[in-house]
Amino acid sequence: MTKQNVLVSDCTSRIGMVGLGGWKASLLPPAIPETLAALGGHISMPQKKLLKRLETGGGARVTAWVDSMRASSPTRIKSTASLPETEERSSWILRHPSALNNLEQIISASRGKQIVMFLDYDGTLSPIVQDPDRAFMSREMREVVRDVARYFPTAIVSGRCRDKVYSFVRLAELYYAGSHGMDIKAPSKRSKCHKMIQGNKKVIFQAGTEFLPMIDEVYKVLVNKTSSIPGAKVENNKFCLSVHFRCVEEKRWAALAEQVKVVLSAYPQLKLTQGRKVLEIRPTIKWDKGKALEFLLESWGYANSNDILPVYIGDDQTDEDAFKVLRARGQGFGILVSRVAKKTNATYSLQEPSEVKEFLRQLVVEWKRLSLQG
Ligand SMILES: O=P(O)(O)OC[C@H]1O[C@H](O[C@H]2O[C@H](CO)[C@@H](O)[C@H](O)[C@H]2O)[C@H](O)[C@@H](O)[C@@H]1O
């Protein structure tokens, strides 16, 4: 059983280790094989079938990894190309309509409620680029997010290490949940909307700190093992790791998968998930972006509130955990950022970060107009 270190500092700035009642019970590691549990929990049916084959071992197992790597790389459609209005996409868009085209509906759902905003970073606030160290956010996007945080409690929820995502966003008035929500920190600067938050304003949370030395060790091993594969890049996200294959030639994906598989086989306490041309390695603890969303709502004093409208915007498989939480609560909306039809628990969709910016901008404008009307 893994131990959770939950560090919460209250308004008197006391920092201590606490058990969060209900939280503790849900933090046990899954009793099923880690890799399959992780992948099975995050991917759509065809990929699930592919991953069944991971259990068959040997060469077939790596082939299945590579098939899965291909299947989870939806950016194969060039971002500048106009969208092919296929039947599949048309029916998908009916099920997940554009959040921009439905702004009025979203605004009307927020009547009498406090909007709370959760934003993923890569592919949501910044466009996907080849080099993860250069995934900068535009100045205009930063201004829009700053404005959002003026009126709505706002958190960035990212797979990145918290410090790294902060270095991109650079807004001190936001909450940051890094490493897929395993590392949460409150704003260093208070914004106007802080008055609305009733609960713990100075929350600091870390899940799985006991894995930090292991993650560091695996990082070094993976850097070494993948150094002969051109384009492979291992990113240390503190509580988790990313093995990027965006710049690796497809014919070398099998070699990369094999290296990762060999390394991971020595660490059964770590599991694998997949993102956009990235293999993500993290502890087998039951903590994800959905749990981070619930944790933040609780620490803001909104755990059982019917007077909030949570909105979560994200583009990745890992964001599905948060979309699922909103569906289960029957509260708020998940918005998937995607140009291609994908199985999702989100309610609405947006095509790319520029649409996210426009949506957020219009949301603030409309919300202000409505609140002035009283
Ligand atoms: O939760 P997120 O904020 O979306 O982070 C998920 C991963 O994002 C980054 O990788 C992705 O974006 C890169 C830059 O555009 C791109 O090169 C890469 O192919 C994408 O997978 C980040 O580098 C990872 O560590 C995050 O896990």
| Better pLDDT: 124 or 39 | 124
Nearest CA to ligand 1 atom 26: 159
Per-residue model confidence (pLDDT) at position 353: 98
> Can you tell me the mean pLDDT for 68-96?
69
CATH class in words for 32-71+211-283: alpha beta
Determine what percent of the chain is predicted with pLDDT higher than 90.
69
Distance 132 CA to ligand 1 centre (A): 6
pLDDT above 80 for 199: no
> Can you tell me the mean pLDDT for 53-65?
57
List residues near ligand 1 (CB under 6 A).
120-123, 128-130, 132, 135, 158-160, 235, 237, 242, 244, 246, 275-278, 280, 316, 318
Task: At 61, give phi and psi (nearest 5°).
Answer: -65, -45
Confidence of residue 74 (pLDDT cuts 50, 70, 90): low
CATH value of 95-128+138-207+287-373 in 3.40.50.300, 3.40.50.1000, 3.30.300.30, 3.40.50.720: 3.40.50.1000
Per-residue model confidence (pLDDT) at position 192: 66
> What's the distance, CA 292 to chain centroid?
10
Measured CA to CA, the distance from residue 295 to residue 22 in angstroms comes to 11
CB count within 10 Å of CB 230 equals 10
> Can you tell me the mean pLDDT for 216-242?
98
Kindly report the average pLDDT of the chain as a whole number.
82
Nearest CA to ligand 1 atom 27: 159
> What's the distance, CA 59 to chain centroid?
31
Nearest CA to ligand 1 atom 21: 276
Per-residue model confidence (pLDDT) at position 70: 83
What is the ipTM score, two decimals? 0.99
Q: Which of 47-51, 124-128, 232-236 has the lowest mean pLDDT?
A: 47-51
Q: Which atom of ligand 1 is nearest to the CA of 315?
A: 4
Whether this model's pTM surpasses 0.80: yes
Strand 241-244 vs strand 278-283: parallel, antiparallel, or unpaired?
antiparallel
351-365 confidence digits (pLDDT tens): 999 999 999 999 999
Distance 276 CA to ligand 1 centre (A): 7
> Can you tell me the mean pLDDT for 176-198?
82
By the 8 A CB rule, do 157 and 351 touch? no
> Can you tell me the mean pLDDT for 198-210?
78
> Can you tell me the mean pLDDT for 262-284?
95
| Better pLDDT: 374 or 60 | 374
Nearest CA to ligand 1 atom 11: 122
| Better pLDDT: 149 or 18 | 149
292: exposed, middle or buried (Cβ count in 10 Å: 0-12, 13-18, 19+): buried
**Best substitution site from 121, 122, 242, 315 to test ligand 1's pocket, by max atoms within 8 Å of Cβ?**
122
pLDDT above 60 for 213: yes
Residues 6+ apart with CB under 8 A from 99: 106, 333, 335, 348, 349, 350, 359
Nearest CA to ligand 1 atom 13: 132
State the DSSP string of 30-78: PSS-HHHHHHHTTS-HHHHHHHHGGGG-HHHHHHHHHHHHHHT-GGGS-
Per-residue model confidence (pLDDT) at position 232: 98
Q: Which atom of ligand 1 is nearest to the CA of 289?
A: 1
**Best substitution site from 157, 278, 279, 352 to test ligand 1's pocket, by max atoms within 8 Å of Cβ?**
278
94-145 confidence digits (pLDDT tens): 999 999 999 999 999 999 999 999 999 999 999 999 999 999 999 999 999 9
Distance 72 CA to ligand 1 centre (A): 13
Per-residue model confidence (pLDDT) at position 73: 66
Per-residue model confidence (pLDDT) at position 143: 98
Per-residue model confidence (pLDDT) at position 60: 53
Whole-angstrom CA distances from 349 to 186, 282, 302, 342 are 28, 28, 25, 10
Distance 235 CA to ligand 1 centre (A): 10
pLDDT above 60 for 82: no
pLDDT above 60 for 280: yes
Per-residue model confidence (pLDDT) at position 371: 83
Q: Which atom of ligand 1 is nearest to the CA of 123?
A: 4
Confidence of residue 6 (pLDDT cuts 50, 70, 90): very low
Q: Which atom of ligand 1 is nearest to the CA of 161?
A: 25
pLDDT above 50 for 54: no
Per-residue model confidence (pLDDT) at position 66: 86
Distance 87 CA to ligand 1 centre (A): 30
291-311 confidence digits (pLDDT tens): 999 999 999 999 999 999 999
Domain ranges of the chain: 32-71+211-283, 95-128+138-207+287-373
